[in-house]
Amino acid sequence: MPEEHRPEQPELRGLYRHVKISVRTLDIIIVAGIAAMVLLVLWSASGGGYAVRFDARGGSDVPAQSVRYGEAVAEPAPPERNGYSFGGWFADEAYSIPWDFQSNRVEGDTTLYAYWIPD
Amino acid sequence: MSNNPTANDTVLLRMEGITKSFPGVKALDGVSLTVRAGTVHALMGENGAGKSTLMKCLFGVYNKDGGHIYLEGKEINFKNSKDALENGVAMVHQELNQALKRNVMDNIWLGRYPMNGPFVSEAKMYQDTVAVFDDLGIHVEPTTIMSTMPVSQRQMVEIAKAVSYNSKIIVFDEPTSSLTEEEVEHLFRIINMLRDRGCGIIYISHKMDEILRISDDITVMRDGTWVATEPVANMTMDKIIKLMVGRELTNRFPPKENVVSKEVSLSVRGLTGMYSALRDVSFDAHKGEILGLAGLDGSGRTETLETIFGAATKKSGTVTLNGRDTPNRTTKEAVANGYALLTEERRATGIFGILSILENTVISSLKNYLQGGFLNQRKMEESTDWSISAMRIKTPSQSTQIRSLSGGNQQKVILGRWLLTNPEVLLLDEPTRGIDVGAKYEIYQLIIDLAKQGKTVLMVSSEMPELLGVCDRILVMSGGRLAGEVSAKTATQEEIMTLAAKYV
Amino acid sequence: MAEQTTTPNSTIKKGPFRKIRAEIDHFNTLTGKDRQRYITDMLFNNAMYIIIVLAIIFIAIRVPSFVSLSSIVNIISLTASRLPIALGVAGCIVLAGTDISAGRAVGLAACIAGSLLTTANKIFPGMGVQPLPLVILIVIAVGALIGFVNGFCMAKFKLHPYIVTLSTQLILYGTILLYLKMGENNGQTLSSLSEGYRNLVAGTLFTIGTVAVPRYVLYAIILAAIMWVIWNKTTLGKNMFAVGSNEEAANVSGVNVMRTIILVFVMAGIMYSITGFFEGARIASINGNTGFNYEADAIAACVIGGVSFVGGIGKISGIITGVLLLQIIFTGLNFLSVDQNILYIIKGLVILVACAIDMRKYLVRK
């Protein structure tokens, strides 16, 4: 009987073509996947905020801060270095993106780099 | 037939009160089936009657909800088909599941290769295969690669495999659907031989003549329930149909009311396929005519339709419609020229399963609903309504997914789709394949109605009574060529068969 | 006879919540085992939504500022910025394909826009800020070309979408890096974008209290509306669903399959380039990594939103929901200060689970 249509038995098509999997296995994947996600989140969610580090590039040490997502970084006192004057904090080592302590927000673990202008 | 000497009263397989539900549907409701040793037991019913589901419960493909299965008096509950096979219950599938790139003996001994220490013993495997083949009178070289063999031989391999497991119950699911007459004879000889050895054969088929010829008992199912089990001697074709459909079907074909006009509409000259075996096919079809195309599988019937429609590439030849040249290089062009093609494989190339009735209906006539570049929803709904009522489609709503309809209703949706393009020529490839007996009548009626409206219908069918009952003329094809033409009023099946074998 | 599969007493309901009411009616007709199965199916098929709602509640309790006005506006803005790419990828998924070159296409578009709209042009030294309409046209043309190449290879040669778009992805990445090395730029980040560009995209649409809503939110809504019309009211839309559902049947039905596939991919390419154009102005500093992995987010959002890899299934409203939910959950995880690297693992798990749920809907149990 070429088309015993009832019960309706849809097969997996499209990108799922040739996939052979049972509902039971899928249920296990769904439960295990969700469990893994929850565990990962609980394990890594400190809730304390992202680490913002200041790389003084040879200048005096600046303490790191812990800043929550979407909040601004408190501007630290400028570091010092002999023979140079401080030129501000940058988001990249190439000094192409200046960090604006007023408008820039933290979106993850961040390192800021000090820029030095030779005297 | 009924005076089968080997039939005895030893019950091999007893299925009792099998029940199986799917969400919202009761697929099997207390179905029972008893197969005696040394008999062929035919299982009949319309599509959707539950034959496949019953077999799937037997083989553990589905878990039954209720009921018991006993094999030689012992209760069994197979986990899967392999489990069933190892316990002597085998199935020869309609669609053969075989490792096509491997050779014959690999397929037979797959999963239980004879071992010689840590190595597979090719020699023993070869000998054992030859032994089984000799036993069954099959002439196949065990080292042949499966994909190089015709379907009939691959089926024989499948049977040999079942025998090699010493199967007591062998299920044949539509085994003859792609076999020639001769191959069918061979198959029947083997089935009779297995029966004479005391095997119980469950034979599932739609073909009445085969059933009446080969089986000892017949069980009829309808709508997931058991209807009757009778010895074949008490059955006639009409009685079986009546049991299957649940009502009297006095006429299998509607009255032919179409009038064939003198005017030629479709004219095909020297049609030759680029990649197919189609060679130099020429014919004329008239307005209001239903022209049948008969022939064996692979004789070029489908290719003729596809080449006319532009779905297969044409090497040479002309196709004219009402005197106008219609080369139909693409299917889109064919639709624009007034052609419509109902394909053979409804599920693979006809329906958009997950889309709604509406989307399935309007897809070929979208330009009719454009208004300022956008589709008008109301117009599409109106057309779909028209199609549902004109085709007498049974559906809860327009937004129902087409895959949830029965085969007959799906076919009507596709016919409706094509009628909305207002075609001159309808090319129908096996329009009633896999459709219930009752719904077939309605499809025939629709075809005759179309011819009455002056359309030209080209209809391919493997069922000869259908061609003789519905068509006006029948073209017989053989080996990619036109072998001859007969009038449906006077021709006999034998006449058509002789022509079909002309160029084989 | 085996004609109807829906329950016979499911009368057609009208008005709001009619789907929900029909579901409840359906549920009431079930008994025992079926009822239990129905509940299990509901739970599993909606597992992603349930877990997201629970996560939102959890995060809101842990970090109340998550549900502050500024945070909500931030989530909506980010959703808007990622919506166009998802709308593009969704078309490819409806065709039973996918597009993993989307993120790099975004990056290339952003680089081109940035290089032509900067006040300190190092890539083309000496060239000033170009007129905005011209730049928009160039960016769209580049996107359309990328989409055309992808679509053509798939439609003409029937290549697998993963193969085609994987190679496009790498080619685009190389192109981006080479482009950034042109002139005197030497691979540096593009910044100092023109005021006109930044203002057009990221300027203030209106403010709620003190929180500004950027203009690209409006643009995203317009794009979603356009896509809705294309998907639902045009021949291309209907053809797209037909091809995705059954390519062979579409061909036999007289649909120009090749044209449909190419057009859907061109449309997707345009959506990527528009995303890139927005992203450039939004983040205001464009480098070789801009757009990286955006396609993963977009594909995940689509699958969560019910655009199925089965092909032929999907709704614009679903895509919007998907992008929004994904954004909520990842912003929420940021509020919990979850390590950025772990977010990648979670994204991978989200896609895996979303696909498992997607498949589950189209499978029938034994």
Spatial separation of the C-alpha atoms in residues B283 and B262, rounded to whole Å:
15
- Domains of chain A and any CATH numbers: 50-118 (2.60.40.4270)
Enumerate the residues of chain C whose CB falls inside 8 A of the CB of residue A11: 362
- Token pair, residue B246, equals 């649940």
Whether the CB-CB separation of C168 and C101 falls below 8 Å is answered with: yes
A8 has a pLDDT exceeding 50:
no
C239 — alpha (psi -120 to 50), left (phi > 0) or beta? Answer: alpha
Q: Coil, strand, or helix at residue B84?
A: helix
Residue C286: inside a domain, yes or no? yes
Percent of chain B with pLDDT over 70: 95
ipTM above 0.90, yes or no: no
Residue C10: inside a domain, yes or no? no
Residue C74: inside a domain, yes or no? yes
For residue C77, count CB atoms less than 10 angstroms from its CB and return exposed for 0-12, middle for 13-18, buried for 19 or more.
buried
Enumerate the residues of chain A whose CB falls inside 8 A of the CB of residue C336: 41, 45, 47
Among B23, B352, B377, the residue with its CB nearest the CB of C249 is B352
**What is the per-residue pLDDT for A11?**
66
Interchain proximity B51–A5, CB inside 8 Å: no
Residue C270: inside a domain, yes or no? yes
Which one of B28, B29, B47, B202 makes the best mutation probe of the A interface by having the most chain A beta carbons within 10 Å? B47
3-state DSSP: chain C helix, strand, coil percent, rounded to 5? 70, 5, 25
A87 has a pLDDT exceeding 80:
yes
Q: To which H or E segment does residue B227 belong? A: strand B225-231
For B409-426, letters b (16+ CB in 10 Å) and e give: bbbbbbbbbbbbbebbbb
Q: How many CB atoms lie within 10 A of CB B65?
A: 15
Spatial separation of the C-alpha atoms in residues B101 and C160, rounded to whole Å:
23
**Considering the domain B11-245 in this protein, what is its CATH number?**
3.40.50.300
Q: Would you place residue A1 in the very low, low, confident or very high pLDDT band (cuts 50, 70, 90)?
A: very low
**What is the per-residue pLDDT for C11?**
45
Enumerate the residues of chain A whose CB falls inside 8 A of the CB of residue B27: 6-7
Interchain proximity C51–A21, CB inside 8 Å: no
B250 has a pLDDT exceeding 70:
no
Among C339, C357, C364, the residue with its CB nearest the CB of A10 is C364
* Location of structure tokens 């009778």: B230
**What is the per-residue pLDDT for C7?**
40
B496 has a pLDDT exceeding 90:
no
Q: Coil, strand, or helix at residue B62?
A: coil
pTM: 0.73
For residue C36, count CB atoms less than 10 angstroms from its CB and return exposed for 0-12, middle for 13-18, buried for 19 or more.
exposed
Provide the CA A88 distance to its chain's centre, in angstroms.
24
Interchain proximity B48–A8, CB inside 8 Å: no
Is B251-338+423-435+446-504 in the same CATH topology as B11-245? yes
Domain boundaries, chain B: 11-245, 251-338+423-435+446-504, 352-422
- Token pair, residue C197, equals 């560009």
Whether the CB-CB separation of C146 and C105 falls below 8 Å is answered with: yes
Whether the CB-CB separation of A114 and A75 falls below 8 Å is answered with: no
* Location of structure tokens 């329906």: B351
Among A7, A21, A37, the residue with its CB nearest the CB of C359 is A21
Enumerate the residues of chain B whose CB falls inside 8 A of the CB of residue A4: 47-48, 50-53
Interchain proximity B22–A4, CB inside 8 Å: no
Report the gap between the CA of C258 and the closest CA in chain B (Å).
Answer: 11
Phi and psi at C332, nearest 5°, equal -60, -45
Residue C25: inside a domain, yes or no? no
By C-alpha distance, the chain C residue nearest A30 is C353
**What is the per-residue pLDDT for B8?**
63
Top pLDDT among B125 and B267 is at: B267
C70 has a pLDDT exceeding 80:
yes
Residue C22: inside a domain, yes or no? no
Among B48, B51, B206, the residue with its CB nearest the CB of A5 is B48
By C-alpha distance, the chain A residue nearest B409 is A5
**What is the per-residue pLDDT for C3?**
40
Least confident of A10-24, B377-391, B452-466, C206-220: A10-24
Domain count, chain C: 1
Least confident of B150-159, B486-495, C176-185, C262-271: B150-159
Give contacts of A 10-39 with B, CB under 8 A. Answer: 10
Q: Coil, strand, or helix at residue B459?
A: strand
* Ordered DSSP codes for A75-119: PPPPP--TTEEEEEEESSTTS-SB--TTT----SSEEEEEEEEE-
As a whole number, mean pLDDT of residues C330-335 equals: 89
**What is the per-residue pLDDT for B396?**
84
Which one of C336, C350, C351 makes the best mutation probe of the A interface by having the most chain A beta carbons within 10 Å? C336
C9 has a pLDDT exceeding 90:
no
**What is the per-residue pLDDT for B24?**
53
* Location of structure tokens 């995203």: C220
Phi and psi at B279, nearest 5°, equal -135, 120
Tens digits of residue pLDDT in C177-203: 999 999 888 888 888 899 999 999 999
As a whole number, mean pLDDT of residues B87-102 equals: 77
Interchain proximity C188–A96, CB inside 8 Å: yes
Enumerate the residues of chain A whose CB falls inside 8 A of the CB of residue C362: 10-13, 16
For residue C304, count CB atoms less than 10 angstroms from its CB and return exposed for 0-12, middle for 13-18, buried for 19 or more.
buried
**H helices of B371-463, where?**
377-390, 407-419, 437-452
Tens digits of residue pLDDT in C239-259: 999 999 999 899 888 899 999
Spatial separation of the C-alpha atoms in residues C339 and A57, rounded to whole Å:
25
Spatial separation of the C-alpha atoms in residues B366 and C295, rounded to whole Å:
32
Give contacts of A 25-64 with C, CB under 8 A. Answer: 26-27, 29-30, 33-34, 36-38, 40-41, 44-50
Enumerate the residues of chain A whose CB falls inside 8 A of the CB of residue C346: 37, 40-41
Spatial separation of the C-alpha atoms in residues B410 and B395, rounded to whole Å:
10
As a whole number, mean pLDDT of residues C115-137 equals: 90
B236 in reach of chain A (CB within 8 A): no
Report the gap between the CA of B407 and the closest CA in chain A (Å).
Answer: 7
Interchain proximity B355–C245, CB inside 8 Å: yes
Q: Which of B198-202, B209-213, C24-28 has the highest mean pLDDT?
A: B198-202
Mean pLDDT rounded to a whole number for chain B: 86
- Token pair, residue C149, equals 């190449």
Structure letter (DSSP) for residue A11: P
By C-alpha distance, the chain C residue nearest B354 is C245
Which residue from C275, C281, C294 is spatially nearest to C169, judged by alpha carbons? C294
Residue C331: inside a domain, yes or no? yes
**What is the per-residue pLDDT for B95?**
60
A95 has a pLDDT exceeding 80:
yes
Structure letter (DSSP) for residue C233: H
Compute the count of residue pairs across chains A and C with CB atoms less than 8 Å apart.
Answer: 135
- Residue span of the structural domain in which C101 resides: 53-361
A7 in reach of chain B (CB within 8 A): yes
Interchain proximity B53–A7, CB inside 8 Å: yes
Q: Would you place residue A37 in the very low, low, confident or very high pLDDT band (cuts 50, 70, 90)?
A: very high
Enumerate the residues of chain B whose CB falls inside 8 A of the CB of residue A5: 47-48, 403, 405-407
Cis peptide preceding B254, ω within 30 of 0? no
By C-alpha distance, the chain A residue nearest C46 is A30
Enumerate the residues of chain B whose CB falls inside 8 A of the CB of residue A8: 22, 403-404
Tens digits of residue pLDDT in B134-154: 888 888 888 888 878 877 788
**What is the per-residue pLDDT for C80?**
96
By C-alpha distance, the chain C residue nearest B23 is C34
Interchain proximity B355–C312, CB inside 8 Å: yes
Residues shown for chain A:
119
Beta partners for residue B273, in sequence order: B314
Angle between helix axes C316-335 and C69-94 (nearest 10 degrees) is: 140
As a whole number, mean pLDDT of residues C39-67 equals: 88
Q: Would you place residue B47 in the very low, low, confident or very high pLDDT band (cuts 50, 70, 90)?
A: low
Interchain proximity B403–A10, CB inside 8 Å: yes
**Following CA atoms C351, C353, C358, C359 in sequence, which dihedral angle do they give, to the nearest 10 degrees?**
110
A10 has a pLDDT exceeding 70:
no
C114 has a pLDDT exceeding 60:
yes
Spatial separation of the C-alpha atoms in residues A53 and A60, rounded to whole Å:
13
Residue C299 is part of a domain; what is its CATH number? Answer: 1.10.3470
Tens digits of residue pLDDT in B27-42: 788 899 999 999 999 9
Provide CB contacts within 8 A for C234, sequence distance 6+: B373, B374, B375
A36 has a pLDDT exceeding 90:
yes
C350 has a pLDDT exceeding 90:
yes
- Candidate CATH numbers 3.40.50.300, 3.40.50.1820, 3.30.70.1050, 3.20.20.70; the one for domain B251-338+423-435+446-504: 3.40.50.300
Interchain proximity B353–A10, CB inside 8 Å: yes
By C-alpha distance, the chain B residue nearest C7 is B24
Among A3, A7, A10, the residue with its CB nearest the CB of B22 is A7
Which residue from B376, B373, B372 is spatially nearest to B362, judged by alpha carbons? B376
Q: Would you place residue B23 in the very low, low, confident or very high pLDDT band (cuts 50, 70, 90)?
A: low
Report the gap between the CA of B212 and the closest CA in chain C (Å).
Answer: 25
- Token pair, residue C104, equals 């790099």
Provide CB contacts within 8 A for C75, sequence distance 6+: C324, C327, C328, C331
Provide CB contacts within 8 A for C288, sequence distance 6+: C107, C173, C176, C177, C180, C187
Report the gap between the CA of A9 and the closest CA in chain B (Å).
Answer: 9
Interchain proximity A4–B51, CB inside 8 Å: yes
Tens digits of residue pLDDT in C220-233: 999 999 999 999 99
As a whole number, mean pLDDT of residues C94-109 equals: 95
As a whole number, mean pLDDT of residues C34-61 equals: 87
Q: How many CB atoms lie within 10 A of CB B43?
A: 28
Among B46, B336, B417, the residue with its CB nearest the CB of C253 is B417
Spatial separation of the C-alpha atoms in residues B191 and B269, rounded to whole Å:
45
The type of residue at B250 is T
